Amino acid sequence: MDRAPQLDGTLDDPLWQLARPITAFFQKEPNEGQPATEKSEVRVLYSRNEVYFGIVCYESEPKKIAARELRRDVSQELDDHFEIVIDSSRNGRNAYVFQINPLGTQRDALITDEQEPGDNGDGDSGWDGVWTSRAHITPEGWTATVAIPFSTLNFMQTQNVIWGINFKRFIRHSNEEILWTAWRRSFGINKISQAGELQGISDIGSGRLFVIKPYALGGFHHLPAGALSAGLTPGTSGLYTGGLDVKVGLRSNLVANLTANTDFADADADTQEFNLTPFKLFFPEKRQFFLENAGVFNFAMGNTGDLLFFSRQIGIDPATGQQVPINGGGKVTGSLGKFDVGVMDVETRSNGLNPYANYAVVRVKRSLPGGSYIGFMGIDKRAGTTAPPYNQAGGFDARLVFFKNLVFTGYATQSRSPGISRGQTNLGAGVSYRNDWVEFSAEHQRIGPNFNPAVGFLERTDCVCNYADLTLKPRPKIRGVRELNFEGFIFHAPDTHGVLQTQEWQATFRAYFHNGAYTDDDIVNVFAQRITTPFNLYKGVVIAPGLYRWSRHQLTYGTAQDRKWTLRFFERFGTYYNGSLNEARIRAEYRANERLSFSFSEQWNRFQLPATGGNFSILVGSLQTNYSFSRFLTLSALVQMNTSNTQGASANIRLRWNYRPDSDLYVIYTAGQQFASLVAANPFQFTEHRLAVKYTYSFRP
């Protein structure tokens, strides 16, 4: 087109009628393969610099349209919404996600290696692109217009463009999910290899990405006397700093990110937890520099959550959760022909007990047909004199897909640390199969006693881990019931000498209802755990070394998801080591309207253990309030309580004004810890106070 169509959320501009609409949408849920119960239309236009989507979502009961979220990049699972998925590199595994609700609220994300949807929706929402959207609710349903610059996709090919593309609509009141392609229940929008094709784009300008984004920050920071234990100086100090981020498109689908004096004041605070196990807790990455294109660096070692590379090991003290200043860094991520590549180098400066360190990471994957790949990763950490001078880790992995539903995975990794010559390998292989009525997975791992990927996440070492899981998913014709699940799994983990360390088996029943309600009940969950060193559970309460066996039961119920109120009740009870434990949780969300929402969670753990002080309770809870003045100005407040910590209360209050695309003004106050500790058990964390005003300005030269 010589000009852009009007992007006012309607399709009144005559230009939209020049495009033939896409109307063939089919149900993934509830009735696989059946035509959608509500009509949907998508029209596609393009100009020299942008691609445009005009969307019409017809609704026979428009008063039931759910539209209660104005905040960008948060889950829209409680709203009606529409997704556009673009595989611009056409590799069948990775794609951009652009999602809107009937208010025009945006959520964008990246899907990597056809990853399964998470709690926040499809893909990893850490990626932020520059694009525009508007939407309107009408008597016939709702309409939307979307404009995506080619530079947001970093797409520089100008002729004979072929993209993988797919569309998804979710209707909240009927809990119906419809797609253009990949509508089988075992596929979904994340099945990029089953996406359709968009052809016919030609004679476009180069969409080279080039963004410069400086920031300035001011405020104050107060550390208590307890900060001395972390090598930090107690007292109050001023904050006055600045830095720079740069994005450069090197070629189509290949981007360089550069950062100097990086700041993460605007990252979300971690949700506090009480650790019931002798192993580490996993907290996800929340910092923008590391989140962008993070999927390229993913190297999973099995299905237990172990990662060869975990970016939270950079710039955050793993014991205290304190930020470690980053001097600068850079990374190159994207595609080169049939290869996905990621190269990263980051340097941190000395801070407290953390010496200067440099981190270098290389990741390469070779795409194979059907969403398969083979890959390699190498990691090198160099540190100052107060820590081991180096740590290295690397390995190969593969994902092979057969018949669309059968997946074989495998990996072989090794670490290198000073003074250690043996037991530094980790080998594993797995298989999974899924269709509409059954899911099966099995896995075998052998982890050496000295395997130590210092820039990764590893739950346990010295393990011959075996895991098998089977889930049956019938859909009986019972009023109100959509699907039943019957699941059983077993995890058996002796050490490399054959001595049992951990064993768990479980039988679970689930029911999913048409209105989004569900129940998730563990009929029985049987544990065996060997404690090799005293496990400090809480203050002076210690679990002594030995082999313990116990069993637990769980009842969970979540209410319908199409209401202003949503509630989740959780009760787990039974024995625990050589005593008993009752876990009671409640989570409630209330969305008064599109501007105001509340989220409350409370967990009460009641312990009865045969030890001095073994009868005690732990309360962990939070209250979050969000108010959206508009799509671009939001205020959020998170207050948390954890009675296991001497400083049991914390707060994070954040005002964000997105005054222009990719440019923000933040005012953030934190009392407590922004980031949680990654060490095992329940370490003490001191309370800090921090007030920061951060201004960012993004421009394209």
For the chain, the average pLDDT equals: 91
In a domain, 88, yes or no: yes
In a domain, 611, yes or no: no
The pLDDT of residue 85 is above 90: yes
pLDDT at position 203: 77
In a domain, 149, yes or no: yes
pLDDT at position 295: 86
DSSP 646-668: SS-EEEEEEEEEEEETTEEEEEE
The pLDDT of residue 505 is above 80: yes
pLDDT bracket for residue 141 (50, 70, 90): very high
Name the burial class of residue 480, with classes exposed (0-12), middle (13-18) and buried (19+) by CB atoms within 10 angstroms of its CB.
Answer: exposed
The pLDDT of residue 157 is above 70: no
Q: What percent of the chain stands above pLDDT 90? A: 67
The pLDDT of residue 415 is above 90: yes
pLDDT at position 344: 97
In a domain, 629, yes or no: no
Residue 373 tokens, joined? 């790949």
HSE of 354, CA atoms in CB hemisphere, 13 A: 23
The model's pLDDT over 244-265, given as tens digits with 9 standing for 90+, comes to 999 998 888 889 999 999 999 8
In a domain, 159, yes or no: yes
pLDDT at position 386: 62
Question: Looking only at Cα atoms, what is the longest distance across the chain?
Answer: 79
pLDDT bracket for residue 681 (50, 70, 90): low
With b meaning 16 or more CB within 10 Å and e meaning fewer, what string describes 91-102?
bbbbbbbbbbbb
pLDDT at position 693: 97
Question: 3-class SS at 192?
Answer: helix
The model's pLDDT over 418-431, given as tens digits with 9 standing for 90+, comes to 988 899 999 999 99
The model's pLDDT over 439-451, given as tens digits with 9 standing for 90+, comes to 999 999 999 999 9
The pLDDT of residue 1 is above 90: no
pLDDT at position 683: 65
pLDDT bracket for residue 224 (50, 70, 90): confident
The model's pLDDT over 52-83, given as tens digits with 9 standing for 90+, comes to 999 999 999 999 999 999 999 889 999 999 99
Q: Does the pTM exceed 0.85?
A: yes
Number of H helices, E strands in the chain: 1, 37
CATH number where 84 lies: 2.60.40.1190
Asked whether the beta carbons of 165 and 85 are under 8 A apart, the reply is yes
DSSP 32-67: TTSBPSS-EEEEEEE-SSEEEEEEEEE-SSGGG---
Phi, psi (rounded to 5 degrees) for 166: -155, 160
The pLDDT of residue 231 is above 80: no
Across the beta sheet with 40-46, what order do the strands follow? 40-46, 50-58, 141-149, 132-138
In a domain, 175, yes or no: yes
The pLDDT of residue 381 is above 90: yes
The pLDDT of residue 121 is above 90: no
The model's pLDDT over 333-363, given as tens digits with 9 standing for 90+, comes to 988 888 999 999 999 998 877 889 999 999 9
- Single-letter amino acid code for the residue at 403: F
Top pLDDT among 231 and 557 is at 557
Residues sharing a CB contact under 8 Å with residue 306, sequence separation 6 or more, in sequence order:
300, 426, 456, 457, 458, 459
Asked whether the beta carbons of 362 and 345 are under 8 A apart, the reply is no
Mean pLDDT of 174-198: 91
Interatomic CA distance for residues 135 and 70, integer angstroms: 12
The pLDDT of residue 206 is above 70: no
- Supply the DSSP symbol for 24: -
Mean pLDDT of 479-487: 95
Q: Which of 307-316, 339-348, 666-675 has the lowest mean pLDDT?
A: 666-675
Interatomic CA distance for residues 104 and 67, integer angstroms: 9
In a domain, 680, yes or no: no
In the chain, the number of structural domains is 1
Interatomic CA distance for residues 165 and 181, integer angstroms: 9
Residue 458 tokens, joined? 């590893």
The pLDDT of residue 171 is above 70: yes
3-state SS, 503-515, equals EEEEEEEEEEECC
Mean pLDDT of 268-286: 89
Top pLDDT among 536 and 495 is at 495
Interatomic CA distance for residues 265 and 660, integer angstroms: 20
Residue 485 tokens, joined? 């699940």
CA 225 to chain centre: 35
In a domain, 382, yes or no: no
Domain assignment of residue 61, given as a range:
14-201
